[in-house]
Amino acid sequence: MSAASVESAPLLSVRNLKVHLRVGEAIVRAVDGIDLSIEQGESIGIVGESGSGKSTLARAILKLLPNVELAACEGEVNFRGLDLAGISDPALRDLRRHHGFAMIFQDPLGYLNPTKRVGAQVAEAIGGKSFGSIGDRVQQLLAEAGLPSPAQIARRFPHELSGGMRQRVMISIALASEPALLFADEPTTALDATLQLQVLETLRRLHRDRQMAMAIISHDLGVVAELCNRVYVMRDGKVLESGDTVEVFESPKHPYAAQLIELSTRHRRHAAPVGSKAVP
Amino acid sequence: MSGAAAIEPAAAEERPLARAWRSVRTTAAKIARTRHGAAGCVILLTLALVAAFAPLIAPYAPLQAAQASLAPPSLGNLFGTDSTGRDIFSLVVYGTRTSLAIGLGAAVGALVLGGAVGMLAGYFRGAVESVLMRVVELFQTLPVIVLVLFTVALFGSSFWLLLVAVILAIWPAEARLVYGQYIRLRGMAFVAAAKVADLSTVHIMLREILPSAIQPVIVQVALDASVAILIEAGLGFLGLSDPNMVSWGQILHVAQDYMTVAWWTSLFPGAAICIAVVGLNLFADGLNEVVDPRMRGRLAGLQP
Amino acid sequence: MLRFILFRLLHAIPLLIAVIFVVLLMLQLIPGDPVQAMVGDFPVSPEFRAAITKQYHLDASFPVRVYSYFVNLLHGDFGYSYQFQRPVLDLIVETAPRTILLTSVGFLIAIPVGVLIGIISGTTRNKRVDHFWTSLALVAYGIPIFWLGQLLVLVLAVHLGWFPTQGMGPLVSHAHGFAWLRERAHYLALPALAFAVHEGTRFARIMRASVADTLGQGYIITARAKGLTRWAIIRKHVLRNSCLPLISVAGYVLGSALGGAVLLETVFTWPGLGLLLVQAVRMRDNMTVVGIAIFAALAVIVINLVVDLLYAAIDPRIRGSS
Ligand SMILES: Nc1ncnc2c1ncn2[C@@H]1O[C@H](COP(=O)(O)OP(=O)(O)OP(=O)(O)O)[C@@H](O)[C@H]1O
Ligand SMILES: [Mg+2]
């Protein structure tokens, strides 16, 4: 997975994306002119402090913004040569259903329907046939996301699962459409250290086996260092610095990036080690 | 967080009443800026003015029957006259007083009774909570109108008895709301801080928690007033309201038998009830918009 | 689930007893002669007075009278109406089904229509459509139910002559089978429609607010991310989850349906429980008033029980925590 060839267009390219939210009388520039690209099968990281606009960026790209009033939402988003800004609803749905893109959300409890069994929620993402005929596929997906005894889990409700299990259910839902691109928003933040490792391992395996492009959002630089070839450092809705993960982390050009990395590594030395800093 | 203001020294200096009043004033200003709230304020103010200046607005005394009976609307009798020759416009104008008095009186009564019960139950929890909330449940077991009819049947239908009956019927909703607010707020940091500072329980309940709980409570007060007006109208329509007072429901009671030949006897008082109730609900809607920050800046609808 | 039901039942029985107790206490508080308070404005002879005093222990202390009333209730004796010259229970058993028919037909129209309007206005991204429905619901909500009934009579019965203005059926009916049903429906239509419009707008308001709330939840975004169609999202996620607040409101409405029935039945002279209550109040027939109040309380308690069970059936989180 080296640098992309010059001729072929990237899987996803974002140019000058702006998302300004209207909150009461104020306007929050959550994403303020961002350029970004992801190659086929590549994995990138997006890091930045809380509130820097990482989640909003991901949602704006995938057209999954919540019901908030937008003061501005502009810029070019190009996925596999398709212009996502002007895409029709059926075409967008098709991308979400089949081999397009998917997203794992930050808070798995809120993003699972509390009144439906987990299996049914995964089955919906597969779509098409009735639950009975796709039951096997549901279990396969749950197992693929690393859940033990998927047949039992499928019959449970979200509140009957642990945080790590819910996160894996979210992963199964995201994988159901066999996406070419997966956005993972803080996939491990809610988990303890051992679970973090397991979920990361799962993501790495999927990335490798399926040749799936990934964008991992995290404020944990260790996670990004482990999984991502390239990294974007964000602050206040802007990209401060981007490039090869090792380069950025070892010799950051921007003082804020340097500070962020310094803080993170210092914290890391005191906390339980999650993994080596080596790039896979 | 609004509770944070409670531990600021400047705010604590202020008298609780003054603080509550300030909160009410600023909230009122915000309500007037919402679409629904502004419309509600206009309607309520108009009704209040009509009630206050009823003798100046109404051309006839309320019970004066000097006209031809069942005359259709004309310049002399804007809304026509009823079967006993009374001017319906004057009746409707004077009826505003009764309806607003019942609405306001019952809502305030329910606020005091329900507020006190909800406050105690929500703050103390435990045995106090279970006893008080069982009482609330008890009063919610009879449908509102049935409870009022029951009281009127047993004790008669003077204005004051009616007011008490309506309060007894609607206070549980207020109690439940205040109860919920106190349960939510009592666990918050500023209450813990007040407890650590060794402030008295009464002080904490009234001065610390109440200001933060007041806004949804006002929404409920507006809705209570509209319910009270509807109950009074219903009782008047059944001919069971205070016979010595003019009320919209009562005009409709008299109109009942003549409705088919004289539509005006029924249309105008009915519309008056509708306007008053809608006005209060619009006001409550506006207030809700101000109170619930989640709704602010939220788009309606389901995106693709 | 069985434990949940038992738990709620154990909760409901003391409540019912307390309601009866309070109702009797209020009866006790009536100023004046207890015999007159019991039979209403009705001239009584001394022998009759003595008989009543003995039968209802009117000279005994309050606890004894409460006890005897409870014993009578357990035997299905709700007292005797001296105005109607019939046992109160007979009156209730005769009129209650008519009220239940009226309110349940109204209810069956109101629920789907209210839910539909609530969902349309809650999920549409067209502000005009939303404004139209919310304004309509607001105005309809302000219309007193009896006035709405009168307006319907005025327009649909008097002017257009489509429906009868009042009553439950012709004095002498020769219709059978399907024709009989049609005849009944003809008389039922207006009062049921008034009930449905009145309560339907309430449901629509609740449903819209609830739908707006549900649409702000994360799992709706998950559903969008799955590529579900708009209709599938509404059907599979919005509908079910938005119904929770509706159920409690619907239960409340059904429980207080007797309140609306009192007014509607007066407008349409529909001879149900509501009309009976109004007549009893007018004639100061306290035995009947008390009987109906207790019956209403019983109905509310049963309905609340059903609401709790429905809640538990829809929301698995409640089921677990009982
Ligand atoms: N639904 C919303 N309503 C109002 N403001 C919002 C909303 N979502 C995001 N914002 C604002 O947009 C900005 C960016 O938020 P965003 O959630 O994208 O940050 P983030 O980098 O993902 O933070 P975190 O690491 O905490 O998840 C913040 O200032 C936030 O306050
Ligand atoms: Mg985020």
Task: Please tell me whether residues C70 and C179 are part of one structural domain.
Answer: no
* pLDDT above 90 as % of chain B: 14
B300 interfacial to chain A (CB closer than 8 Å):
yes
Q: Which of A67, A93, A115 sits opposite C315 (nearest CB)?
A: A115
Helix (H), strand (E) at residue A72:
strand A70-79
Ligand 2 (ion): residues with CB under 5 Å are: A 55, 106
More confident call, C321 vs C142: C142
Domain that holds residue C252: 92-315
Nearest ligand 1 atom, CA A59 = 18
> Which stretch, B197-201, B246-250, C41-45, C284-288, has highest mean pLDDT?
B246-250
Q: What is the pLDDT of residue B149?
A: 85
CATH of the domain at C127: 1.10.3720.10
Considering C88, C104, C120, which residue would you say is the last residue of a domain? Answer: C88
Task: Please tell me whether residues C58 and C29 are part of one structural domain.
Answer: yes
More confident call, C144 vs B257: C144
Do the domain assignments include residue B131?
A: yes
pLDDT band at A278 (very low <50, low <70, confident <90, very high): very low
Query: C309: buried, middle or exposed (CB in 10 Å: 19+, 13-18, 0-12)?
Result: middle
| Residues paired with A43 in a beta bridge | A214
CA distance to A52, A58, A186, A267, B167, per residue, from A218 (Å): 11, 12, 5, 15, 56
Say how many Å lie between the CA of residue A183 and the centre of ligand 2: 12
The answer for residues whose C-beta is within 8 angstroms of residue B87's C-beta and 6 or more apart is B58, B59, B60, B64, B67, B77, B79, B81
Say how many Å lie between the CA of residue A60 and the centre of ligand 2: 12
Q: Which residues of A touch C219 (CB under 8 A)?
A: 110-114
Considering C40, C67, C88, which residue would you say is the last residue of a domain? Answer: C88
Say how many Å lie between the CA of residue B206 and the centre of ligand 1: 36
B294 contacts C30? CB cut-off 8 A: no
- Shortest distance between the Cα of C48 and any Cα of chain B, in A, equals 22
Q: Which residues of C touch A174 (CB under 8 A)?
A: 225
Task: Please tell me whether residues C134 and C203 are part of one structural domain.
Answer: yes
Does any ligand 1 atom lie closer than 6 A to the CB of residue A28? yes
A22 interfacial to chain B (CB closer than 8 Å):
yes
Q: What is the pLDDT of residue B8?
A: 46
From A22, A55, A218, mutation site for ligand 1 pocket: most ligand atoms within 8 A of C-beta: A55
Say how many Å lie between the CA of residue A55 and the centre of ligand 2: 4
Whether B6 shows a pLDDT value over 70: the answer reads: no
Q: Which residues of A touch C228 (CB under 8 A)?
A: 93, 124, 127
What mean pLDDT do residues B78-85 have? 76
Task: Please tell me whether residues C280 and C152 are part of one structural domain.
Answer: yes
Task: Please tell me whether residues C126 and C238 are part of one structural domain.
Answer: yes
Task: Please tell me whether residues C96 and C139 are part of one structural domain.
Answer: yes
Do the domain assignments include residue B216?
A: yes
CATH of the domain at B287: 1.10.3720.10
Do the domain assignments include residue B195?
A: yes
Q: Which of B297, B301, B304 sits opposite A23 (nearest CB)?
A: B297
Q: Which of A68-72, A120-124, B221-225 has the lowest mean pLDDT?
A: A68-72
Do the domain assignments include residue B68?
A: no
Do the domain assignments include residue B221?
A: yes
Say how many Å lie between the CA of residue C209 and the centre of ligand 2: 27
Spatial separation of the C-alpha atoms in residues C197 and A9, rounded to whole Å: 59
Nearest ligand 1 atom, CA A53 = 18
* Number of structural domains found in chain C: 2
Closest-CA residue of chain A to C217: A110
Does any ligand 1 atom lie closer than 6 A to the CB of residue A53? yes
Domain that holds residue B101: 96-243+257-296
Query: A266: buried, middle or exposed (CB in 10 Å: 19+, 13-18, 0-12)?
Result: exposed
Do the domain assignments include residue C321?
A: no
Q: What is the pLDDT of residue C169?
A: 64
Q: What is the pLDDT of residue B3?
A: 43
B296 interfacial to chain A (CB closer than 8 Å):
yes
Closest-CA residue of chain C to B228: C144
Q: What is the pLDDT of residue A257?
A: 80
Q: Which of C227, C237, C320 sits opposite A96 (nearest CB)?
A: C227
- pLDDT, tens only, A60-119: 999 988 878 788 888 889 898 888 888 888 899 988 988 899 999 888 888 999 888 999
- Shortest distance between the Cα of B227 and any Cα of chain C, in A, equals 10
pLDDT band at A6 (very low <50, low <70, confident <90, very high): very low
| Residues paired with A38 in a beta bridge | A12
Q: What is the pLDDT of residue B261?
A: 78
Q: What are phi and psi of A243, to 5 degrees?
A: 155, -165
Spatial separation of the C-alpha atoms in residues C169 and C146, rounded to whole Å: 20
Do the domain assignments include residue B41?
A: no
Q: What is the DSSP letter of C1?
A: -
Do the domain assignments include residue B25?
A: no
Do the domain assignments include residue B274?
A: yes
Does any ligand 1 atom lie closer than 6 A to the CB of residue A54? yes
More confident call, A275 vs C55: C55
Beta strands in C17-176 (DSSP E): 80-81, 86-87
Q: Which of B161, B179, B165 is nearest to B114 (CA)?
A: B179
Based on DSSP, count helices (H) and strands (E) in chain A, helices before strands: 10, 10
Nearest ligand 1 atom, CA A52 = 21
What mean pLDDT do residues C81-106 have? 87
Q: What is the pLDDT of residue B72?
A: 75
pLDDT band at A270 (very low <50, low <70, confident <90, very high): low
C297 contacts B144? CB cut-off 8 A: no
Q: Which of A107-116, B13-22, B86-95, B135-144 has the lowest mean pLDDT?
A: B13-22
Q: Which of B66, B270, B163 is nearest to C144 (CA)?
A: B270
- Shortest distance between the Cα of A227 and any Cα of chain C, in A, equals 24
C127 interfacial to chain B (CB closer than 8 Å):
yes
Q: What is the pLDDT of residue B122?
A: 85
Do the domain assignments include residue C322?
A: no
Do the domain assignments include residue C236?
A: yes
Does any ligand 1 atom lie closer than 6 A to the CB of residue A30? yes
Q: Which residues of C touch A124 (CB under 8 A)?
A: 223, 226, 228, 232, 236
Calculate the average pLDDT of chain C. Answer: 82
C237 interfacial to chain A (CB closer than 8 Å):
yes
More confident call, C180 vs C299: C299
Q: Which of A196, A267, A251 is nearest to A226 (CA)?
A: A196
Does any ligand 1 atom lie closer than 6 A to the CB of residue A50? yes
Q: What is the pLDDT of residue C319?
A: 65
Q: Which of B230-234, C64-68, C293-297 has the lowest mean pLDDT?
A: C64-68
Q: What is the pLDDT of residue B13?
A: 58
B237 contacts C266? CB cut-off 8 A: yes
- Shortest distance between the Cα of B83 and any Cα of chain C, in A, equals 17
A92 contacts B299? CB cut-off 8 A: no
Considering C88, C111, C140, which residue would you say is the last residue of a domain? Answer: C88
ipTM of the assembly? 0.86
**Which two tokens mark A94?**
């098709």
Whether B51 shows a pLDDT value over 90: the answer reads: no
Q: Which of A208-217, B19-28, B231-240, C90-99 has the lowest mean pLDDT?
A: B19-28
Length of chain A: 280
Closest-CA residue of chain A to B296: A24
Task: Please tell me whether residues C96 and C77 are part of one structural domain.
Answer: no
Q: What is the pLDDT of residue A268?
A: 58
- The pTM of this model reads 0.81
Task: Please tell me whether residues C22 and C110 are part of one structural domain.
Answer: no
Do the domain assignments include residue C164?
A: yes
Q: Give the closest residue (by CA) to ligand 1 atom 18.
A: A53
Interface probe with A: pick from B33, B298, B299, B302, most Cβ of A within 10 Å: B299
Say how many Å lie between the CA of residue A50 and the centre of ligand 1: 8
Closest-CA residue of chain B to A69: B297
**Is the four-CA dihedral C4, C10, C12, C15 of positive or negative sign?**
negative
Spatial separation of the C-alpha atoms in residues B32 and B39, rounded to whole Å: 8
Q: Which residues of A touch B299 (CB under 8 A)?
A: 67-69
- pLDDT, tens only, C219-270: 999 999 998 988 889 998 998 888 888 888 888 888 878 888 888 888 888 8
Do the domain assignments include residue C320?
A: no
Whether C322 shows a pLDDT value over 50: the answer reads: no
- pLDDT, tens only, C165-188: 776 666 566 666 666 667 777 778
Whether A4 shows a pLDDT value over 80: the answer reads: no
- For the sheet with A12-23, list strands across it: A26-38, A12-23, A70-79, A82-83
Closest-CA residue of chain C to B241: C282
- Angle, vertex CA C244, rays to CA C239 and CA C248, nearest 5: 135
Q: What is the DSSP letter of A237?
A: T
Q: Which of residues 54-93 of A touch B (CB under 8 A)?
A: 63, 65, 67-69, 89, 92-93
- pLDDT, tens only, A234-264: 989 899 888 888 888 888 888 888 887 777 7
